[in-house]
Amino acid sequence: KGELEKSTRDIIHNVFEFDDTTAGDIMTHRTDIAAVSNDDGITDVVKVAIDDGVSRIPVYCEDLDNIKGIVYVKDLLKFIGEEIPKNEKLEDYIREPLFVPETIPCGKLFKQMTDTRIQLAIVVDEYGGTAGLVTMEDIIEELVGEIEDEYDDEEQSVRRIDSNTFILDGSCEIEDAEEALGITIPDGDYNTIAGFIINRLGTIPDENSKGLEIEYSGVKFTVCEVTDKRIETVKAEIYGRKNNND
């Protein structure tokens, strides 16, 4: 009971403090922004998404003070682990950015982002330069405390892209993969998802292994990155469930 009362008091306190908090107070500073240049390709964006665990990425021209738009990683899911056609350009996936001043109160920004259904805003300083960015999660965390992000994971060995798609580190423990994907992987001479995939492929990975796929228990595993005969990352897509395992 005492813990519940403390939690309630904290939320009420945060609500009263909310109007005094500005975007500048809670933003991610420009030095910590994961962004890409408009000269970069789709492959570069996918790499940033995987490496930094972000779902929305600002696109700039020349420098961060000239943000051209935002790329949503979900729009690029089809390219993860796949060969990207030459006619596919990053500019085709850039969405209009929302710019807000550092001084905008979080309550007002919350309403603006809710009304426009935009999840990320670029924060600009008094000179028009990029000061940082604020996500809807940042605002909600300010109001009710830390919440788990769609990509948050203590060890980041499993990164969720959407409800049916995950990026797994090759070193991801079997039990962590099982929990994330809702499947049971058979026992074998392996402890990681990379070991499981190598076992199923029956071959040692090399630079030509990128894009190789296996299917198991309603999940398609695609090799995304290979370094020195080591599977670095794997895309797992849940497409169906089977009554019994392969």
Question: Is residue 110 domain-resident?
Answer: yes
Question: Is residue 149 domain-resident?
Answer: no
Q: Residue 16's pLDDT band (boundaries 50, 70, 90)?
A: very low
Question: Is residue 245 domain-resident?
Answer: no
Nearest to 90 by CA among 121, 68, 116: 68
Of 144, 166, 191, which residue sits at a domain end?
144
Tell me the CATH number at 58: 3.10.580.10
Q: What average pLDDT score do residues 197-215 get?
A: 87
Of 111, 144, 177, which residue sits at a domain end?
144
Q: Residue 11's pLDDT band (boundaries 50, 70, 90)?
A: low
Question: Is residue 228 domain-resident?
Answer: yes
With H, G, I as helix, E, B as strand and everything else as coil, classify residue 24: helix
Same domain, 135 and 168: no
Same domain, 22 and 94: yes
Question: Is residue 195 domain-resident?
Answer: yes
What's the pLDDT at 23? 92
Distance CA 112, CA 98 (A): 10
On the question of pLDDT at 198 being above 60, the answer is: yes
Q: What average pLDDT score do residues 166-177 get?
A: 92
Of 109, 144, 179, which residue sits at a domain end?
144
Tell me the CATH number at 176: 3.30.465.10
What's the pLDDT at 163? 85
Other CB atoms within 10 A of residue 233 CB: 25
Same domain, 135 and 162: no
What's the pLDDT at 72? 93
Same domain, 123 and 162: no
Structure tokens belonging to residue 152? 């948050």
Question: Is residue 114 domain-resident?
Answer: yes
Same domain, 128 and 11: yes
What's the pLDDT at 244? 40
Same domain, 105 and 60: yes
Of all residues in the chain, what percent carry a pLDDT higher than 90?
Answer: 44
Q: Residue 10's pLDDT band (boundaries 50, 70, 90)?
A: low
Query: Is the CA virtual torsion 243, 244, 245, 246 positive or negative?
Result: negative
Question: Is residue 51 domain-resident?
Answer: yes
What's the pLDDT at 218? 94
Q: What is the pLDDT of residues 113-159, one digit of tens each?
A: 888 889 899 999 988 999 999 998 888 777 655 444 544 544 578 99
Domain of 168, in residue numbers = 158-238
Q: Residue 236's pLDDT band (boundaries 50, 70, 90)?
A: very high
Question: Is residue 91 domain-resident?
Answer: yes
Q: What is the pLDDT of residues 34-77, one digit of tens each?
A: 999 999 988 888 888 888 888 899 999 999 999 999 999 888 88
If you average pLDDT over every residue of the chain, what do you get? 83
Q: Hey, what long-range contacts does 234-237 have (CB within 8 A, 24 or more apart)?
A: 234/167, 234/168, 234/169, 234/170, 234/172, 234/193, 234/194, 234/197, 235/80, 235/81, 235/165, 235/166, 235/167, 235/168, 236/165, 236/166, 236/167, 236/168, 236/177, 236/180, 236/181, 237/164, 237/165
Same domain, 59 and 81: yes
Instruction: Give Cα separations from 98 to 20, 52, 73, 119, 139 (angstroms).
Output: 22, 22, 17, 9, 15
The string of DSSP letters for 88-145 reads --GGGGEEPP-EEETTSBHHHHHHHHHHHT--EEEEE-TTS-EEEEEEHHHHHHHHH-
* Weakest-pLDDT range from 18-22, 35-39, 209-213, 221-225: 18-22
Same domain, 217 and 140: no
On the question of pLDDT at 164 being above 80, the answer is: yes
How do beta strands 63-72 and 94-95 pair?
antiparallel
Indicate the pTM of the whole model. 0.56
What's the pLDDT at 241? 54
Same domain, 64 and 11: yes
- Longest CA–CA span in the chain (Å) reads 62
Please count the structural domains in the chain: 2
On the question of pLDDT at 229 being above 90, the answer is: no
